[in-house]
Amino acid sequence: MLFKDKTILVTGGTGSMGSRLVRRALGGELGMPKKIIVFSRDEAKQHYMRMEYQRRAPATDDIVYNNFTNVLECRIGNVRNYSDVCSAVRDADIVINAAALKQVPTCEYFPGQAVLTNCVGPLNIVRAIEEGGYPVETVVSISTDKACKPVNVMGMTKSLQERIFISANILNPRTRFICVRYGNVLASRGSVVPLFLDQIHHGGPVTLTVPGMTRFLLSIDQAVDTVFCALREAKRGETYVPRAPSATIENIARALIGQRDVPIKIIGIRPGEKTHEIMVSEEEAHHCVRRGDYYAILPMLPELRSDVLDESAGLKEEFSSADTVLNPADTATLLRKHRLMPEDISAGIAQVLR
């Protein structure tokens, strides 16, 4: 199995997506890893991660707890620091780069900081593998829809991150560098659902930027599924994109409000924010193929496209969140499916912010 007896390095491993990926890897669904290294700069989050596993009742989470005590290793470090990266990468078979500055307005105000984390960090990973000769099998870049036709600093730096990892395949033929790209992750820290739930809990108003703004909707587990699928199937230089549904921000808010008497306030678009998300551009559609529930964007570099394109074309035009928008009822059904419409809003906040 994919992770069996492997050492997995997860940069940004204490974030919403990184921590869920770690939990599932510890569960052994892809085989039992030899070690999982959580690499991040926040000692508090690493401490809380340890405490979370230790509080689990052995009767219900015995397997995960035992894996934690034997397998999980937390390391303090920063992807911006080359020596920190070398120390972590040299022991890894698989590297999953989830470290990022991802808040759009923050990156607009501090673009230099975004470059350091989102671009220099990936360069350090590539450089460490190349100069150190470390036998890393696969590196996965966690990217975002905002990297596609970017209009903000966050998207621009993530677009460069994709190119940094894809091009790394040329000079590092022993290592497979691949990417995944997905949209808004439901209930992740800093996303819109926890914000709306908190506003509803306090009686409103629920603040909307633009009512007709659309977003792809993906659960954290579906985001992890995308990474796992790419690890299993993606060829060198490919980018995997989930075929996710989308909804308007207004429908999301109204579904969460339900019958409650909570007002809605329009506040306008934030700095650098897009009205609609695009996960595959019109230009990329020409070298995009469909594989099950995913699109695979083939690399532009001819050296990485040695295989004859015999797979059926996945798209004839760009893949935008404005194309297939869920109606209000289906939006509510999707949120309910992912347990984001609790009858008790307080319980809902505890669930998504834990």
Active site residues: 146
Strands 35-40 and 7-11: parallel
Burial class of 162 by CB neighbour count within 10 A (0 to 12, 13 to 18, 19+): buried
- Residue 138's DSSP bridge partners are 94, 176
d(CA 336, CA 8): 33
Distance (Å) of CA 259 to CA 130, 144, 247, 255: 58, 34, 20, 9
Pairwise CA distance, residues 305 & 286, whole Å: 13
